Amino acid sequence: MSKHGAVEQQLSLYPPPEDFVRRAHVQGMNAYRELYARAEKQPEEFWGEVAERELFWFEKWRHVFEWDPPFAKWFTGGKINASYNCLDRHLATRRRNKIAIIWEGEPGDQRMISYFELHRLVCRFANVLKSRGWKTGDRAIIYMPMVPELAVAMLACARLGITHSVVFGGFSAEALKARVQDLEAGLVITADGGWRRGREIRLKATVDEALAECPTVRDVIVYRRTGGQVSMQEGRDFWWHELDEGASEVCPAVPLDAEHPLYVLYTSGTTGKPKGILHTTGGYLTQCAATMKWVFDLREEDTYWCTADIGWVTGHSYIVYGPLAAGATSVVYEGAPDFPQYDRFWRIVEKYGVSIFYTSPTAIRALLRQGDKWPEMHDLSTLRLLGSVGEPINPAAWEWYHRVIGKGRCPIVDTWWQTETGAIMISPMPGATPLKPGSASFPLPGVIADVVDMNGDPVGPDKEGFLVIKRPWPAMLRTIWRDPERYKSQYWNRVPGVYFTGDAARRDSNGYFTVLGRVDDVMNVSGHRLSTMEIESALVRHPSVAEAAVVGRPDEVTGQAVCAFITLKKGNWDHKKLSDELRQWVAHEIGAFARPAEIRFAEALPKTRSGKIMRRLLREIVTTRAVTGDVTTLEDMAVIGRLAEQRGEEE
Ligand code: WTA
């Protein structure tokens, strides 16, 4: 540690345990610094070596990197297949009969699937897709519960070069419809339903509702999970198990361009319309595989568990593509962390001997509140590394995670990244980095990050600014699906010449990054990204609502909670009844996870003289119940007083 930064010195740092360092892929800070310096000075050589070492290429690339700002291409001319790298490549090694996926359903059912077996399942299903006429360049929507067949569907698409878009099972029919339409998908892969807290989430019924207005969809393939009632539309809907019967287990992977679109994943932005983040193949897979070693320090004998849902980017990169490309044994769990009791996570850790555990701060905080007795009921001694992702982790939750779950033995990797970055960007390397609770610490090799002001000038130590990335990286998004202009303006024109993350951050005098949260109109609720505008647009579609303004309110468990300010159209409204109805409405328009926690009815919303809603003031009201900032542009001062006094209708 340097002699500078007295304030930071007072915060205790946790050096990596010696026995961890001895066996780690990257040992000690000097090793990290060397790697970092090498990647910074010779990025093409560096990434070329990583890509060659971690992956199998049918044909080698001509150029590691081509940059026509802000459009990047990686490994151009190279031929590769993600499904081949996750499966076939392992079959010629001793991983052939290694378990790829340990799956546990919420009701307690269990499957152990080896690489050999997973390969067979994927080949069979790819042949099903082929026999229905689907091919390279087509697009499929996948809307499934957390069953192994979700990964099978993704890998079968990847095998043939069908670009997939997984839609999180919590999204409503409206949200699903918007994604099918934007992607112009021809194929939907779904299931009858899935289990969540003992209840069946009926997915097929939602698909039916969504597809009423999706003329592009020709085929719907339905996996049977719950055995619940579904209606099948003749000529459009097919049972997975019927099509799969007698399908061949031989299906060669198609050699695809390194830049072939692997998937589109929709995420919330600052407007009402979700953005289709496009990821391609070679660069994406390179960085996913590399971070499995750098960040998770993955070894052959590890049992790795990422608790995310595959419907979010964390599940794409760190349940499916990263771990399988790296040949890991990975746990996949279908249901909720608190079902049937608060010890479900710890029970699973004990049962399968999980050694690497990766989860969200929201889950940690929710389980922490239930007390130490739940983890204490279980033997957690197999754990050697813990991870966190999705939102800032507050030091108190960090300490609990470290002490009660990791027994003080396990380093914690606080990993910062985004749907757009594709892979982890800022994170400790567990055998190298002294940990600072609440800080994601240092950028990984090849990631040039900085904290700057609006002009792009670095703000200096301990000052808050915008987190930016100054050089393209292999797993970066390539564009927004069918909207390159939005891609340019959202990410590359905000601060001149660099990638704008939308996050605020601070760097201390030792170089530790602390990510503070979003600076735009994106909220982070339980690690789910939600757009204030998207919820507002949903609310104003309701016949009673005149205007809506949505802000994030700090919440002890979920990080932020959705708080909606509403003005109503003329009429006699029962506020209590209406707030329940509006919550239901948002669940229907977007998904239950976007439901406002609090609704406040107001006579008017604070606006500027030009008519823009001043969300900043609303944020202050819900955070501090008072307004301290500049209100000189406010049109009607009295509005603020009335809003601040009011209490909302809470769920
Ligand atoms: C936030 C999830 C602080 C951040 C992989 C980012 C974090 C957004 C961290 C992306 C972290 C993610 N510390 N904040 N370790 N990780 N975030 O696209 O605001 O769902 O911009 O990707 O989550 O969310 P997304």
Tens of pLDDT, residues 14-38:
999 999 999 999 999 999 999 999 9
Beta bridge partners of 524: 529
Question: DSSP class of residue 92?
Answer: T
pLDDT at 254 over 90: yes
**In this structure, are residues 149 and 223 in contact, taking their beta carbons and an 8 Å threshold?**
yes
Say which residue, 60 or 1, is predicted with more confidence.
Answer: 60
Nearest to 176 by CA among 197, 204, 148: 204
Q: The tokens of 513 are what?
A: 């990054």
Confidence of residue 619 (pLDDT cuts 50, 70, 90): confident
Q: Give residue 462 CA to ligand 1 midpoint distance, Å.
A: 20
Q: What is the pLDDT of residues 333-382, one digit of tens each?
A: 999 999 999 999 999 999 999 999 999 999 999 999 999 999 999 999 99
**In this structure, are residues 527 and 390 in contact, taking their beta carbons and an 8 Å threshold?**
yes
Question: Of 40-49, 442-451, 547-556, which gets the smallest average pLDDT?
Answer: 547-556
pLDDT at 627 over 70: no
Residue identifier of the C-alpha nearest atom 25 of ligand 1: 418
Q: Mutate which of 524, 530, 593 to test ligand 1's pocket (most atoms within 8 Å of Cβ)?
A: 524
Q: What is the pLDDT of residue 607?
A: 81
Per the prediction, the chain carries an average pLDDT of 93
Distances (CA, A) of 217 to 161, 178, 179, 208, 214: 18, 13, 12, 11, 6
d(CA 575, CA 572): 9
Mean pLDDT of 475-487: 97
Q: Give residue 582 CA to ligand 1 midpoint distance, Å.
A: 28
Q: Give residue 516 CA to ligand 1 midpoint distance, Å.
A: 10
Percentage of the residues of the chain whose pLDDT score is greater than 90:
83
d(CA 229, CA 65): 51
pLDDT at 616 over 90: no
Domains of the chain, earliest start first: 84-246 (3.40.50.980), 526-650 (3.30.300.30)
Residue identifier of the C-alpha nearest atom 5 of ligand 1: 418
Q: Give residue 35 CA to ligand 1 midpoint distance, Å.
A: 25
Distances (CA, A) of 384 to 26, 27, 274, 567: 16, 16, 38, 52
pLDDT at 611 over 90: no
Q: Mutate which of 416, 433, 531 to test ligand 1's pocket (most atoms within 8 Å of Cβ)?
A: 416
Mean pLDDT of 57-67: 98
Q: Say how many residues make up the chain.
A: 651
Most confident region among 262-271, 461-470, 518-527 by mean pLDDT: 461-470
Where does ligand 1 bind, in terms of residues with CB under 6 Å?
A: 267, 312-314, 389-392, 414-419, 440, 501-503, 515, 517-518, 524, 529
Q: Give residue 22 CA to ligand 1 midpoint distance, Å.
A: 31
> Other C-beta atoms within 10 Å of 23: how many?
11
d(CA 336, CA 92): 37
Percentage of the residues of the chain whose pLDDT score is greater than 70:
96
Q: Give residue 392 CA to ligand 1 midpoint distance, Å.
A: 8
d(CA 642, CA 603): 9
Residue identifier of the C-alpha nearest atom 8 of ligand 1: 418
pLDDT at 5 over 70: no
Most confident region among 262-271, 600-609, 636-645 by mean pLDDT: 262-271
d(CA 106, CA 527): 21
Q: Give residue 520 CA to ligand 1 midpoint distance, Å.
A: 13
Q: Mutate which of 398, 401, 417, 513 to test ligand 1's pocket (most atoms within 8 Å of Cβ)?
A: 417
Q: Mutate which of 313, 418, 520, 521 to test ligand 1's pocket (most atoms within 8 Å of Cβ)?
A: 418
> Other C-beta atoms within 10 Å of 385: how many?
24
- Coil vs helix vs strand at 344: helix
Distances (CA, A) of 636 to 605, 608, 614, 641: 9, 9, 12, 10
Residue with tokens 């297949």: 81
Q: What is the pLDDT of residue 591?
A: 93
- Coil vs helix vs strand at 271: coil
pLDDT at 505 over 90: yes
Question: Of 21-35, 78-92, 103-117, 557-571, which gets the smallest average pLDDT?
Answer: 557-571
Residue identifier of the C-alpha nearest atom 13 of ligand 1: 392
Question: Of 49-58, 478-487, 599-608, which gets the smallest average pLDDT?
Answer: 599-608
Longest dimension (CA), the chain: 73
Mean pLDDT of 203-225: 97
Distances (CA, A) of 284 to 18, 89, 122, 466, 482: 32, 17, 21, 25, 20
Q: What is the pLDDT of residue 10?
A: 46
